[in-house]
Structure 1
Amino acid sequence: MRLRTRALALLLVLAAVGTATPAAAGPTASGPTGDIVYATRGAGRVLALTFDDGPSPDWTPQVLDLLRQRRVRATFCLLGSQAQAHPDLVRRIVADGHAVCNHTWKHDYLADWTPEAVRADLSATNAAIRAAAGNPDLPIRYFRAPYAGWGASPQVAAGLGMSALAWTMDPQDWDGSGADALIGRLRAQAYPTAVALSHDGGGWRRPTLDAYTVMIPEWQGGGWGFDLPAVTGGPYPPACTAPAWRAHDTHVGGDRVSRGGRVYQANWWTTLEDPRTAWWVWSDLGAC
């Protein structure tokens, strides 16, 4: 009788421990770590396209047109001064479901700045981007230091909820080279999970636009896909920028919406079809 009582007591203790364990465990989300990102979120034959120094009224709309035509999402590293000057372009970048990156207020070299000065600049830039977008809660997951002059900025950016974003492909579209030279560099530098640095602002970007007009279809024809850059820390909930899909809203071909943590592009006019199930109407462009 005594042995049976002890066995029963032991079973009750084990049951209590088993019941309590799930509540006590459970990982909690953490913020960005201050490490620098050099790769895409996913593995495999994918690239992340990033465009710096905009938005530019001369070039950003043409880059956006190309990305929409090819059903590609990219990351736009925006200057606060340019976002403030061209809010319509910020709204278009966001409406197309692209990721948004803080590239400082006016492209200063931050390596020798104090953390306090960096924080003031990044905070002002985030505020300008969100004001231009008309969304005080717009997710800004990335920060990129001009000239890769990082200094204290990765840790400061992490404190503001952003991962420091570098690059591993540089076609040097800033050196005045023509499209043919940029195409050759992009072909030579591409490898799975690479992050490509290019520009939609800050100068004459016709060669950049012409190079990607050739390379994006070439990559797609060769089995390449496109992803967003990785983030540090986490895990994070989806960070969609495109407007949420709503039944009865009218959409035309090329419109983009977010639904269930993913971005979709309409192939033609639609009002009711749910992007998650109507694959003949909506193209799935991937997770936010």
Structure 2
Amino acid sequence: MRLRSRVLSMIVALAAVVATGGPARADGPTGDIVYATRNGGKVVALTFDDGPSPDWTPKVLELLRRQQVRATFCLLGGQVQAHPELVRRIVADGHAVCNHTFKHDSLAGWTPGEIRADLTATNDAIRAAAGDPKLPIRYFRAPYGAWGASPQVAASLGMSALAWTMDPSDWDGSPAETLIQRLNAQIYPTAVALSHDGGGDRSPTLAAYQQLIPQWQQAGWGFELPATTGGPYPPACTAPAWRGRDSYLQGDRVSRNGHVYQARWWTRLEDPSGAWWVWADLGVC
């Protein structure tokens, strides 16, 4: 009986390898697809795809810093290699990072091995650009929502498959006013909004969020990161750790005790976790 049990265990393990293109993580993501924020309440998760773009990503980052909002950036490997300085800026601002494949290919007909090679190359490119071989990449989003076998492969690499529930179709050339109407019609608590900072002219997207984010904040909406599957996990901070003897300028972001903080003005020595008058707490990593 003991031998038979060991054989069955080996068969199950082999099946996991075949299904995902690699060994499954017992404590990692499940392969389920995420459609909501980590926590409940009147919150929404902002996600931006197809960057980084030298034309639009800096402007989106400036807006998010000005409004003290964190988002999730779903990055393409090719764009990452072309613009590593923007990856470093995204990370330094404490935003979450998402793997969006290397070249925005549809994965629907790909084998698990092919998907695994693409996702691994993309993760490697993101971490190389960020200058951090251990940079946490918690999310994966399949281009076009063509998932195929990718959620299970992503889970084997430590990532949760991230979908969306708000889609203003900002790729179709509509003006900002139309995007605003679509987003206002779709917003609800725990929603995940899909928009783009790359892949074309994103001036309507930027203009829409320049109006919407402060309006939503005034209406009592907050901003969260998307949920992860198979957790809970410890916070995965990307912003640099706070150092007590460093000087920080208004807008600088740091991580401290699993949270991201943004300086309200010039500061030095004040511990972010105990100086709310100097540091704005932007939430758990």
- With structure 2 as the length reference, what TM-score do the two structures score? 0.91
* Residue 69 (structure 1) aligned with residue 99 (structure 2): no
The equivalent position to 1:174 in structure 2, one of 166, 171, 176, is 171
2:243 corresponds to which residue?
246
The equivalent position to 1:206 in structure 2, one of 187, 203, 210, is 203
Letter of the structure 2 residue corresponding to residue 43 of structure 1: G
For 2:58 and 2:255, locate their aligned partners in 1 and report how far apart those are by CA, in whole Å.
21
Deviation at 1:101, TM superposition (A): 0.0
User: What SS does the corresponding residue of 2:232 show, helix, strand or coil?
Assistant: coil
Letter of the structure 2 residue corresponding to residue 55 of structure 1: P
2:151 corresponds to which residue?
154
Letter of the structure 2 residue corresponding to residue 218 of structure 1: Q
Deviation at 1:271, TM superposition (A): 1.2
* Aligned ranges 1:21-32 → 2 under 5 Å: 30-32=27-29
Deviation at 1:132, TM superposition (A): 0.1
1:24 corresponds to which residue?
none
For 2:137 and 2:246, locate their aligned partners in 1 and report how far apart those are by CA, in whole Å.
27
1:236 corresponds to which residue?
233
Deviation at 1:109, TM superposition (A): 0.2
2:102 corresponds to which residue?
105
1:255 corresponds to which residue?
252
For 2:126 and 2:41, locate their aligned partners in 1 and report how far apart those are by CA, in whole Å.
32
User: Any conservation in 2 of the 1:30–1:235 contact (CA below 8 Å)?
Assistant: no
Larger radius of gyration: 1
User: Any conservation in 2 of the 1:115–1:156 contact (CA below 8 Å)?
Assistant: yes
Cα deviation code 1:114-164 (max 9, x no counterpart):
000000000000000000000000000000000000000000000000000
1:131 corresponds to which residue?
128
Cα deviation code 1:66-101 (max 9, x no counterpart):
000000000000000001110000000000000000
* Residue 38 (structure 1) aligned with residue 35 (structure 2): yes
2:19 corresponds to which residue?
none
Deviation at 1:276, TM superposition (A): 0.4
Deviation at 1:235, TM superposition (A): 2.0
2:86 corresponds to which residue?
89
2:21 corresponds to which residue?
none
For 1:242 and 1:252, locate their aligned partners in 2 and report how far apart those are by CA, in whole Å.
15
1:197 corresponds to which residue?
194
* Residue 117 (structure 1) aligned with residue 122 (structure 2): no
For 1:96 and 1:190, locate their aligned partners in 2 and report how far apart those are by CA, in whole Å.
25
* Residue 141 (structure 1) aligned with residue 138 (structure 2): yes
1:58 corresponds to which residue?
55
CA RMSD of aligned residues (A): 0.6
Cα deviation code 1:209-249 (max 9, x no counterpart):
00000000010000000000000002211100000001101
User: What SS does the corresponding residue of 1:44 show, helix, strand or coil?
Assistant: coil
User: What SS does the corresponding residue of 2:272 show, helix, strand or coil?
Assistant: coil
For 2:247 and 2:156, locate their aligned partners in 1 and report how far apart those are by CA, in whole Å.
40
Q: Which runs of 5+ in 1 are unaligned?
A: 1-28
For 1:139 and 1:286, locate their aligned partners in 2 and report how far apart those are by CA, in whole Å.
17
User: Any conservation in 2 of the 1:35–1:164 contact (CA below 8 Å)?
Assistant: yes
Q: Which runs of 5+ in 2 are unaligned?
A: 1-25
For 2:55 and 2:165, locate their aligned partners in 1 and report how far apart those are by CA, in whole Å.
27
Cα deviation code 1:48-79 (max 9, x no counterpart):
00000000000000000000000000000000
Deviation at 1:278, TM superposition (A): 0.6
* Aligned ranges 1:216-235 → 2 under 5 Å: 216-235=213-232
Cα deviation code 1:2-27 (max 9, x no counterpart):
xxxxxxxxxxxxxxxxxxxxxxxxxx
User: What SS does the corresponding residue of 2:267 show, helix, strand or coil?
Assistant: coil
Deviation at 1:37, TM superposition (A): 0.0
1:270 corresponds to which residue?
267
1:20 corresponds to which residue?
none
User: What SS does the corresponding residue of 1:186 show, helix, strand or coil?
Assistant: helix
